[in-house]
Chain A
Amino acid sequence: MQKLSDKSIKIISSILFILWAAFCYYIFFYEYIHYAFSLLIKIIRGI
């Protein structure tokens, strides 16, 4: 039971950590991500 709870804590905290990192990453690299997406859309439209 203890092991199971430890595991679920690890999973939840890992997901939260990834979300937090992604959030910070998105704000910092906003222009780059925006540019990459617009480029991707252009390529898809081209195809």
Chain B
Amino acid sequence: MIELIILLLLIIYTYLLGKKILNFFKVNFSRLSESVILSVSMGFGLLVTFLFFLGIAGLFYSWLIRTIIVVSFIILLYLDGRKEFEILKNSFKDINWKLPFGYWVLLIICGLYILFNLINCLTPVSNVDSLFVYLNHARLFVENHSIYNIDWGGIAASYRPLNAIILNSLGILLYSDILSQLITGWLMGFLSALAVYSISRNFANRRMSLIAAIVFYCIPTLSWLIFSTKIDMTYAAFELCFWLLFVKWLYSKDKKYLFISAVYLGFAIGTKYQALYALLFNSLVVLIIMVFERIKFKDVIIILLIFFSFTILVCAPSYIRSLILTGDPVYPFLSKGNYIKESILHSNNSSNHINYFHFQYQLIFGKSFPLKPYSIGDRPIGFLVFIILPALFISRSTIASHKKTILIFIGYYLFSSFMTNMTSEHFPRHFLPAIGLISSLNSLSFREIKKYIPESLILIVFNICLITMVLFADIGLGPRIRPRHLLKLKLITGEIKKETYLEETVFKEPRLLSGGMIKYINKMQPDTKIFALQEISGYYAQKPIIIKRGFVDTLNCEIFFNKCSEYGITHLLFSKNPLFEDDYLGVHYQFIKDIISDPRCSLEYNYGDQYLFRIEKSPVTSKNNEDNFNIKQYMEY
């Protein structure tokens, strides 16, 4: 519950902070939703940038950050608190709550789903990627009081844009990792949906915009991202804020909106590489629009330069850090090629690059054409976003008045999904903002389709699809997931403890440290440093488990042991379980076999399939070699 209170205070704080800055630039808010989404996102963006410099300076101390936030919060409350409270109160009074029954059903379904997600996010983080990278790095930053070079402390992702990871650090610094999950998962998910609503309000009424936001919030892709500390929701929220101001510029032609939108784009680029596609696409769009409007070429160049400068200035910190540490601002893409793509998808998946339509079908329905199950390592977008989209083109009048918006949104969706298809893993989460833009077009489609089909019928169809989508594709009611929901409920009601919950869920995962091993590691000497030979996350252990993706590609056995001694690594962790899945990450069995069979390694402890080897200073032959031999046999088998 304390996490919820801190989250609420943090929302108010970022709202006041962001609003102060936006008021300084004289941004006119058309409605409450716009003011909330832009102010809160701006507040979080500024906070993250400030924390980045604190982290670089080695000042990641809980007491310091809490003090700074509390003092600035009190100042902001004193300056603007009463005024903003009055504005919010009056805006709430003006809301027209009269809505037809069908819309209320949609709102109730979505509201219950938001509440479910909130309760879900109050339980310990269990998402594997979050525990490996995004929360693990955040914790390492906090433990070392700085954003340091996690070379032998994390995996390649430690060089990526850091905004979302810093937000995770903020959660840990303020209270706990559950707060991190509430910020980068739940809150950013809600803000993304609010951004879709606000974008849609620029060209549609309240009811239609509600449909657009609900459709976006309930897509299966979002369901698991909200319950995690991954970077995708933060990226989507920042980029959708950029699009909101971009659309305002499109309709008003006030350059102020374009320049402020560049700041949000900078925050998005500082969160995830994929936002660079938006910079490329929008620069071209701005250029084309201005050329068509016969604006002087010199003026166009100046506007574009200001736009670029703002974006680059805001996103620069993470990229400069990567450039200094690795010589590659977009690590690993310039120095190692598309390492992620190559290691995960291999090069033999090239057929997917050609078959773009099939790629779309796979991502929308989660099937290979026509009905073959397709595993994509992400959840599909779902058909609801696209079901009424063709209605946009029924009448010319719809297209005529919003021609630019429709063209840009559809163009960006096709562009970013195409780029995702070509350059990274085939996951819808890599172009989430584009899905948000397509969702916002649903409001225009809905307005159009209402002329030909009774509104009540459309709402019935939407409600049926939405209920089943939320229950089966988002929440999941299958026999595998149901016990987990029950455990969460028991944890929330206090029937079981956090340790029991983790024991029953997270510790049973093959790529995560088992409960018995965690207990043993927690009792080990304080100077213990453990290196995982495979990607095994030990986030819930009290000592950091070091993972370095791809270390076997660059080292041989001798150099490996030298590196271990250089970095003070005392133990090696090995698990039989994920061994046979590891080939796709480029891990060579032979190398691991050589390491654990080396006389410098002796078995100290094992629990289930997981083994902990001590690195001896001088090679020894002990009875443990027999165990090593058994593992070797197992691997050969």
> Which chain A residues have a beta carbon within 8 Å of chain B's beta carbons?
9-10, 13-14, 17-18, 20-21, 24-25, 27-32
Contact = CB atoms under 8 A, between A and B. Distances in A.
A21 B469 CA distance: 13
Contact of B371 (A14, A24, A27): A27
Contact of A32 (B365, B370, B465, B472): B472
Interface in B453-478: 453-454, 457-458, 461, 465, 468, 472-473
Nearest to B477: A32
B329 interface: no
Contacts of A24: 365, 383, 386-387
B449 A17 contact: yes
A13 B452 contact: yes
Contacts of A30: 367, 371
B453 A25 contact: no
Contacts of A17: 449, 453, 457-458, 461
Interface string B365-397: 111001101000000101100110000000000
Contact of A21 (B370, B382, B387): B387
Nearest to A21: B461
Contacts of B370: 27
User: Top 7 A-B pairs ranked by shortest CB distance?
Assistant: A24-B383, A13-B452, A21-B461, A30-B371, A14-B453, A27-B365, A28-B383
15 contacts: A10-B452, A10-B453, A14-B453, A17-B449, A17-B453, A17-B457, A17-B458, A25-B383, A25-B468, A27-B371, A28-B366, A28-B473, A29-B472, A30-B367, A31-B373
A19 to B, nearest CB: 11
B94 to A, nearest CB: 35
Contacts of B468: 25, 29
A43 to B, nearest CB: 18
Given A25-B465, A28-B473, 10 more contacts: A9-B452, A17-B449, A24-B386, A27-B371, A28-B367, A28-B380, A29-B468, A29-B473, A30-B371, A32-B472
Contacts of A21: 387, 461, 465
Interface string B426-470: 000000000000000000000001001110011001000100100
Nearest to A26: B371
Interface of B: 365-367, 370-371, 373, 380, 382-383, 386-387, 449, 452-454, 457-458, 461, 465, 468, 472-473
Nearest to B371: A30
A29 to B, nearest CB: 7
Contact of A20 (B382, B387, B473): B387
A13 B450 CA distance: 11
A18 B461 contact: yes
Contacts of B380: 28
Contacts of A25: 383, 465, 468
A28 B466 CA distance: 13
A11 to B, nearest CB: 10
Contacts of B458: 17
A35 B458 CA distance: 27
A14 B373 contact: no
Contacts of A27: 365, 367, 370-371, 383
B274 to A, nearest CB: 25
Contacts of B454: 10, 14
Contacts of A13: 452-453
Nearest to B364: A28
B468 to A, nearest CB: 7
A20 B449 CA distance: 13
A32 B473 CA distance: 10
B378 to A, nearest CB: 15
Contacts of B449: 17
